[in-house]
Amino acid sequence: MTWLEGKTIVMTGAGRGIGAATARLAASYGAHVVVNDRDAAEAEAVARAIGEAGGTAVSHPGDITDWAAARELVMRAVAEWGRLDGLFNNAGLFRMARIEELDEASVRAHLEVNVLGSFACAVHAARQMLAQGKGGAILNVSSGAQMGLPAMSAYGASKGAMASATYAWATELREAGIRVNALSPMAATRMMDEAERYLGAPVSSVPAEFNAPVACYLLSDAASGVTGQVVRIEGRVLSLAVHPGIALPTLEGEWDFETVADAFRTDLGRRQFPSGTVGMTVEIGGNASRTWD
């Protein structure tokens, strides 16, 4: 199959795990891949393996949190193949800590890598795609942790930020034909190794390769009608994450302490959304029913 034939795609954090699996699969579908990772040896190994398998790839190690380095990464694709068609914003940092265990360095690191780094790559990718005037695809990475998981507040907040950015960018870039989606993956990667160390129990045995077909689909022209979505893949389960919004019906009135208290006592209290990762049944037309799991 050649779903990505001739497409030039930058993939960050592609030295191993989901990024490496996606880079290999995309190349097998005909894409030209720029393999980015902070670890130069790992990036080079993936690019070399792609070449040995008959694909086309170059390695471009670097730190995406450096705004100028992110631009250089995007321009490497243009220098090699004359254009940029896709960005897989996959590089990320994951550490677990309950709120009382958090320190400034850990919180800042999550925001710098997962948010600032992803923004840097997406901004430069979008500018290049807009200049080309022929559309493109940006695929960010979110997480089920954005819905509220214990000991994942810093990570979840950073991935929630990327979900929000995905919705905004998809709206901004729609008329230019640039699609923006986010992947919410699950796999036995270094991140899951960290979770298992913290929890003292196995977390996931899903191979990284299970996520690659979804990522490649969202980067391909086959997904031309898909934008502004957070797509969840967890082993055999494929789903969409529900977008944030205002819960209907709303209440109208003159609000002081007593009327607010009464609103929660009679209406809003029983309509509260549970914290933690949940499932919601969404009917065609966007009407959400109160179904949780």
Active site residue 167: no
By three-state DSSP, how is residue 185 classified?
A: coil
Q: Which amino acid appears at position 129 of this protein?
A: M
Core vs surface per residue 20-36: b (16+ CB within 10 A) or e: bbbbbbbbbbbbbbbbb
Rounded distance, CA 264 to CA 40, Å? 55
164, 181, 175, 161: which is closest to 228 by C-alpha? Answer: 181
Helix (H) or strand (E) segment spanning residue 271: none
- DSSP secondary structure string for all residues of 127-184: HHHHHHTS-EEEEEE--GGGGT-TTBHHHHHHHHHHHHHHHHHHHHHGGGTEEEEEEE
- Spot the catalytic one: 29, 155, 198, 217: 155
Strand-pair partners of 9: 33, 86
Asked if 132 and 84 count as a contact pair (C-beta separation under 8 A), the reply is: yes
Burial of 201 (0-12, 13-18, 19+ CB in 10 A): exposed
| DSSP letter (8 states) at residue 235 | T
Q: Cis peptide leading into 249, omega within 30 of 0?
A: yes
| DSSP letter (8 states) at residue 112 | I
- Catalytic residue IDs: 155
